[in-house]
Every structure is written in structure tokens, then in C-alpha cells.
Structure 1
Amino acid sequence: MICALGSAVCYGTASVLQAVAARAAEPGTGSGVDPALLLRALRQWRYAAGLALDGLGFVLQIVALRALPIYAVGAALAASLAVTAVVAARVLHVRLSSTEWAAVAVVCGGLAMLGLASGAEGHRTGSAALRWSLLAVALAIPLAGAAAGRLPDRARALTLGLGSGFGFGVVEVAVRLIDPAAPLDPANPALWALLLGGGAAFLLLTSALQRGSVTTATAGLVLGETIGPALVGVAWLGDRTRGGLEWLAITGFAVAVAGALTLARFGEPPAPAGEGGEGGEGGEAWRVDARE
């Protein structure tokens, strides 16, 4: 659980850095999936630093997934929004409302309940059908992102967010389907699902961060990376809770995700100076000079 929370700290801090860098990058083609946008964002030192934190967070996430049920790790990763809110408050001087501070506390409480209720990870290795299905989902994610570029703003944001969340969810499940004794086995569809799902998730998330309001997208991200993988872990991989504490695990999971959704506006990229923002209280503080 310490590794899962450490991963959330890394991801949450990286989000603040990447939001500034992605907004400073030149606009792309308008497609839901824009690989060139990722290359342009990499020219910003903040984005590179954010990627380094993402790499460390991913290592911690893998360690956590090898010891905890997917539902516990997924909820901890959703808590990265609480980290983003706190980091934004400290670094970018964003003012959190009393409701948002309460949401941070709610997320922490939900994670505490999950920590008490979580059992060990399930020991099922997953069927071949599950591995191939995971690869099919990973292949569908960039196609959905490309289609999102032609949707109206709100539907586009939700589709990009859900697609990114599904991509990160694919990574969570794939880690459990890869044999630690042969992690680079090219015959294992889960390995390709991990690579494709993770890459597509980053592309969609970067596009969402760069293209205006992504509060809806961030909510979709949280839902996509938590609920689906949690159900797969329980139904097909044998994830369970400690005896008699199923109710506490379900409550903790729901509370943590609900608190994260309340903080969804902190997926919002900082608006350029002189533009109106819709980030609510503290929106002015997000208007930083991305060239600094």
C-alpha cells in the first residue's frame, strides 16, 4: 500500500508539471490522438520532469499490483487527484475551497478503509481469452481517441478521458497477466496490451490536457482506470478482501473514487494569461507563464 500511495504522489505531482507543459505546446491537428503533440510537449522541461515522475510511479505501481488486489491499487491511483490538488495549492497557489479540502480528507479516509479491508492479490493467472480480450481493448483505444476528435467539445472530453482511463486500466490488468519469470515473452498478448494501452493512454491524456477544459475528461479518466480493472480482478483473477470485510472494501473504494471525482477540476490545464477559466475558485492562480 505504501508503494501504491507513493505511485499516486508521483502521478499527482507529474500532472501539475505536464498540464503546464502541454498547454504551452503548439496546437495540433485537432485529432483526438495527436502523436506529434507528445513530441512538442517533450520540448518543455516540465513535461520531461513529469515523465520521469511517471516512470518512478509506474515502477511503484507494478510493485503494488504484485502484492495488492487491483481494486486497492486503482483507488490509490485515483487519489493522485488529491495529490494534484495539494501540489497545485502549494506550488501554483491555487485556492482550495472548504469542499475540496474535505474531498481530500474523504479520499484519505476511503484509502484507509481499503487498506484495512484489502486481502492479498488473487493468484489466478488469467485465461488466454482474457489476455487476447485485453489486447483487443488496447487496440480499440487509439481508434476511439481518433473518433473523439470529431465529437462536440463535451463528448470529446469525456471520450478522451474514458479512453485514457481504459488505457491505464489495461496496464493495471496486464501487469497481473505477465509472468514475472518471463516478463518480456513476445508470445504473451498481455505484454503487447500493456505497451499499446499505456502508449495510447498517454497520447489521449496529453491531448485532453492541451485542448481546453478537461474536467469532464479527468472524471472519465478516474472512472475508466478504477471500476473496470477492479471488476476484472475480482471476477477473473481472484482478488478478495479480508474475511468479513467486503462491505468495508466496497465502501472505501466508493468513497475514495467519489472524493477523487470531486477534485476532477485539478485535471484542468492552466489557462493562458488573459483567458477566462472555468476552474472555479482559484482559477486565476492557474494562469502561469508556461515559458518560465
Structure 2
Amino acid sequence: MGLNFGYGHALSQSDSVRLIHEAVDLGVTFFDTAEVYGPFTNEEIVGEALAPVRDKVVIATKFGFKFADGKQAGLDSRPERIREAVEASLKRLRVDVIDLLYQHRVDPDVPIEDVAGAVKDLIAAGKVKHFGLSEPGAQTVRRAHAVQPVTALQNEYSLWTRGPETNGILQACEELGIGLVAYSPLGKGFLTGAMTKDTKLEDNDFRKILPRFTPEAMQKNQALVDLLKRIAGEKRATPAQVALAWLLAQKPWIVPIPGTTKLHRLQENTAAAEVALNASDLAEIARAAGEIHIEGERYPAHLMATTGR
């Protein structure tokens, strides 16, 4: 997503392709995109970059919106729209089959059984391999799974967004054998330690509308970054690596998907797999994090309303 959408300065297509090639060389095999990123252009970048190594990677994309004049214009998960989205994504991604297809957000106007049924038909037709949901409610997961087995959920999960632990998502994953793909595992950049209350965001950086990225909230939430820095110092790692290692230590079926536009951050993130947190480390993080109040919702109200349905 962040290569050319959502986080202010966008990389050129050639630089984006080059960075994805670097990721492949570092051993990254799972790539996440969506038709709404751009819209459309992010899928094109991923398609161009991964075409030479298609048989070595897993590509996930998402449907769930309608568009007008090249801009996102609301939710739309009607079966006919899903089929249309998949055909377009296949072309942009330069693939014959989509490895993992998510509904980007639950559409309250379309029964989830109809959505799951449409994806089931696409799987039967050989256009999709696996079905996923992004930011659903736990009961929606169970209803969808009864029609077409759900392979993965993509929800925000990190040390400063712990909702999946209490809203039934982790429990549903455990019970149903579903993987959790944790997006924004670095708190949209905040947990790297590179941001402070004085950080100025570009006008086209969507974090400007997020309650946690006001100067006041960032100042209060610095306590969590300080905790990560302390653990990182003990482990000869970085705060970002500790945040990712913490996620990797939670469950074997949790996969974080950090994004970046910078090669040194890509190298840093992939090296997090080598950071080992033992039981004592995890207990200390749990104790210390439990004493920290996270200031601000992760999204403004109108976007929060699209999650957990």
C-alpha cells in the first residue's frame, strides 16, 4: 500500500519495482495489495515487479469498493462487482489466479453468505485460490466460513492495537484454523521510534486524520516507544524489530506485513525474524505494556464504523 498510496510521498513505479525486487532477494514471499490502493496502480506495480518470480511468491489482493471518476466511492460487495473486480485485478497483477482474495471491508448491504458464495464460485472457476476477510467481526467470520472456508483474516494488530485479543478474532482464528495477517504491525510507523510530537505529516498522508497522530496523542504514546527502545537495547535490535518479534511470538499462524518505501527499513524489518524474545522478555513486555494507556482511537469514527461488522 505505502509504495504509492496513503503515506505522503510516493515512490515512482520504477523505484517501487526495484524495492519489491530487493524484498524478493531478501526472502520475502508474501505480498499484499488491493484494487483501492491508488486506486489500481498499486496492483499494477506489484504485477510488474513479481511477474519474473510469480512461481516463488504469494500475492494477496482485495475487493469491496466501488469507484467513480477514478476515486473510491463507497462499499460494494455485490457478487457481480466481486467478479468484475477479480477480472480487473487478474489483468493488473499479470496472473492467472489470485492466491488470496480478501473482502476489504464488510458491506452491510450484502449478506456475507452471498460474498462467500461468490468467492467460492471464483475458486471453483480457478480464478482464486483462497478466501479472506479484512477487519470483520468474529460472527461474520463464522458465517462466511460456513459457506466457503476462510484462509486468512487481515486485521490491524500490534502492541498498540490489541483489539483482536478481546473482540473474538484471535479466538475465531484458533478455533477455525484461520491465519491472521497483521497489518500496521509497526503502528503505521509510530512504533519505529522515528516519529515524535513534532513530526510534520504531508497533506496527502492519511495519518493526518488519525486520532493517534495528533501531537498530543503522539507525546502520550511515546511511553510505548520508550518500552520498545529499552527492550531493543537489551536485544541489540531496533524498536521496530522488537515490535515485529513480539507479534511473531504470539502465535505461529500470525504473519505481520510491515510496509516501507525505504531499503534500510526493508532490511531492518526482515531481520526481525532473527530477534528472539524468550518467555521472560514477553512477560516483561506484557507487564509494562499493560500499564501504558494508548491515547486516541486508531481511526476516526467514520472509518471505525467500517470495522468489526
Report TM bin, short chain.
under 0.3
Bigger relative contact order (CA 8 A; separation at least 6): 1
Q: Given the two structures, how large is their TM-score scaled by the length of structure 1? A: 0.26
Q: Given the two structures, how large is their TM-score scaled by the length of structure 2? A: 0.25
Query: More helix by proportion, 1 or 2?
Result: 1
